[in-house]
Structure 1
Amino acid sequence: MRMIAAALLMLPALVPVQSQAEEIAQVGVDWVGNDIVIEAIRDPDVGGVTCHLAYFERSVLDRLSQGNWFEDPSNSAIQCSRTGPVDVSTLRPGAPEDVFSEGRSLLFKSLRVKRIYDAENRVLVYLAHASELSEGSAKMSMSTVPLPVEEAGARPTD
């Protein structure tokens, strides 16, 4: 039983984190100390794309009053922008790839950012969503980064 508990505690550490987030700001939203945290996440495989992820972080007072001590809400918002040259030559079109993952509860919930390369439309799609062990989560946010024809590997039309 102890081995199972230890394995469950290590589960968030076993999930690969592709990119590190840099906290940009915390915005206080109420008198009990709940905050909205905004982080910058640079895409490690593409370069030239930075996503800003906003999510809710509960205060100690809110955790005590709600009785759910070890979990933050799944709500998030994401916006991604070009911040330099973009190279998509190593990406597989249509294949969701992990960019970022961060634990949102003690054991079973994480906030994830995935990238999908839509080669036909010359767009990078970034999806922020919660991953939960049971019942999943329908809470998500999406952002797109359009690519110029020359960066998407397509030939310009005359």
Structure 2
Amino acid sequence: MKTKIPFKSLGKKTSYTFNYDFNLLETFENSHQDRDYWVHFSCPEFTTLCPITGQPDFATISIAYIPQTKMVESKSLKLYLFSFRNEGGFHEDCVNIILKDLIKLLEPKYLEVLGDFTPRGGISINPYVNYGIPSTKYEEMANFRLLHHNL
């Protein structure tokens, strides 16, 4: 099935922005709104800067969601994640910003973000955050997954 959607970046020469930019994100309509299913993204080349030292922090960012009506276009997601490159943010801030931005963009049924950051100073930090539509089974799912994360 061929979809004609006027994307800003898909199918065009890639221009990278290394300062945080929510507006890089684009969506398209979920063609399978009649069922629940998972969409999972893994970005093993995520980079941000320590807000104190300015040193680079590297991570694999994993994003998984159950769509409602909108889907995120993958190239726009890649460019959005790359836009964190010159931003100073603690690991926990990064995953929470990504979660909040994707909730605003997609209004998903369920969403989770995991940051698997490489060790610096002998310690790795792996923040996890999630969301489910309030007062639904997806909120219950979010609570369950949060309470049982890494058990």
TM-score category, normalised to shorter length? 0.3 to 0.5
Kindly name which structure, 1 or 2, has the bigger radius of gyration based on alpha carbons: 1
When you count helix as a share of all residues, which structure comes out higher? Answer: 2
